[in-house]
Amino acid sequence: MIDFELSENIVKSREMIHMVGEQLMRPISREYDEREHEKPTEFLETMWKLSAGSSFGSDREADKKAAASGPRESNLASCVSIEELSWGDAGLYLSIPNPGLGGAAVLAAGTAEQKQRFLAPFKDGAPKWGAMAITEPHCGSDSAALQTTAVRDGDDWVLNGTKIYCTSGLMAAEKSDGFVVVWATVDKSAGRAGIKSFVVAAHTPGMKVIKVENKMGIRASDTAMIVFEDCRIPLDNILGSAEVQTGNEGFKGAMATFDATRPLVAASALGIGRAALDFAREALERAGVKIRYGAAQSTLTALERDFMEIESDLQAARLLTWRAAWMMDRGKRNNLEASMAKAKAGLAVTRVTQKAVEFLGPLGYSRKLLLEKWMRDAKINDIFEGTQQINMLIVARRILGYSSKELS
């Protein structure tokens, strides 16, 4: 059974990271929301020094082995840490040098040699970034409809296509030793079965960032459009087998990336929601309004009922998120739980931040406070790593036992 008590190590780490959010992130939060395409160099260098040498994510096979000797908690620890960092500032958290979604893809589908080759360099040296390129201009949530191609030519793969909305794509593609994991098809006629993921190192000829988006929220993080034109990479940069298998096995391997990343996105949503909830509670108490948790339901004000409801939504999302991470740490399949956590957290944070703004009225809408920023930052958690609708479909399919063709 899952234990809802966090270990002493995670608690100590959470306290330290909360201080980082409070002392390093909050003071520059508004500044880099306004200066979207400028990088907080001093902050990034500090965070790289703090995080250099730490492990990233979880290896499912290693988790299975570790489960026999004792509990592993790397994914749960990551979720707790990300919640605290996002409480500080979600955009700044996403800009911190780390393997990111690209690293998660390598862990999910790469060989032991590939994990060592692509992830080990993040343990020392200058700050480095990883990114994942999936979404294309003509297809969003339907990853199976992508048109980017990978064609074998001698000892190389040649990539051609355009990717949009790549989180940290600019830094991963242009900084030394960074990398981008690109989803492409090796056989369009094979449909989903032909989709594979490939690692493209920074500065590879043929890979070019042509645009950095202006966004509503998480503005401290870059979101890039990347074009691949006859981009050549080594044959062994493909994650998993190059063979087109029946039963969508290759596509399933690529999609397994989301089993690891969706709980992390959910954790970020929790941090934003908690920031808004904490602020609203403090503001209301200063105004003489204190939430009466022990009062009879019939005596509560509408504000108190709303506050308790969104607070319980956030806590429910947290428990789902920890459950999904806990399963990953034990090498268990968590496809259903990861999508449940992501769907619940995306809904919860959107509602929590909206209600927090409403609680404070015109002041909550004002740019004098960070509340309106948190409301803008919140919405992306309901969109990326699979939209709310996609994750709800996945949950329904898993519970009812339907395929994507039977329930779409």
Q: Give φ, ψ of 199 to 5 degrees.
A: -100, 125
Domains and CATH numbers, the chain: 8-123 (1.10.540.10), 130-245 (2.40.110.10), 256-400 (1.20.140.10)
Cβ atoms within 10 Å of 234's Cβ, excluding its own: 12
pLDDT, one tens digit per residue, over 324-365 is 999 999 989 999 999 999 999 999 999 999 999 999 999 999
pLDDT of residue 256: 77
CA distance 328 to 58: 8
Q: What is the structure's pLDDT at 233?
A: 97
Is the distance from CB of 186 to CB of 138 less than 8 angstroms?
no
Nearest to 73 by CA among 138, 8, 152: 8
| Strand-strand pairing, 179-185 and 130-133 | parallel
Q: Supply the pLDDT for residue 55.
A: 45
Using CB atoms within 10 A of its CB, is residue 13 exposed (0-12), middle (13-18) or buried (19+)?
middle
Q: What are phi and psi of 89, to 5 degrees?
A: -175, 120
**Three-state DSSP state, 199:** strand
Q: Pull the structure tokens for residue 220.
A: 């401290």
Query: Which pLDDT belongs to residue 151?
Result: 97
Give 93-112 pLDDT, tens digit per residue: 999 988 888 988 888 888 88
- Residue whose entry in the numeric block shows the structure tokens 């409809």: 145
- List per-residue pLDDT tens for the chain, 408 residues long: 556 788 999 999 999 999 999 999 999 999 999 999 999 999 998 998 887 544 444 454 544 454 444 567 889 999 999 999 999 999 999 999 888 889 888 888 888 899 888 887 555 566 778 999 999 998 866 777 889 999 999 999 999 999 999 999 999 998 877 999 999 999 988 888 889 999 999 999 999 999 999 999 999 999 999 999 999 999 999 998 888 876 655 566 667 788 889 999 999 999 999 999 999 999 999 999 999 998 998 999 999 999 999 999 999 999 999 999 999 999 899 999 999 999 999 999 999 999 999 999 999 999 999 999 999 999 999 988 888 888 988 899 989 988 877 777
* Active-site hit among 83, 304, 372, 385: 385
* 315 Cα distance to chain centroid: 19
Q: Per DSSP, what are the bridge partners of residue 183?
A: 197
Structure tokens at 46: 């500090």
Question: Which of helix, strand or coil describes residue 166?
Answer: strand
**Of residues 82, 136, 50, the one with CA closest to residue 325:** 82
Q: What is the pLDDT of residue 388?
A: 86
SS3 357: helix
How many CA within 13 A on the CB side of residue 215? 27
> Any residues with CB less than 8 A from the CB of 352 and at least 6 apart, and which?
273, 276, 277, 310, 313, 314, 378
385 is catalytic: yes
pLDDT at 249: 58
The helix/strand/coil state of 136 is strand
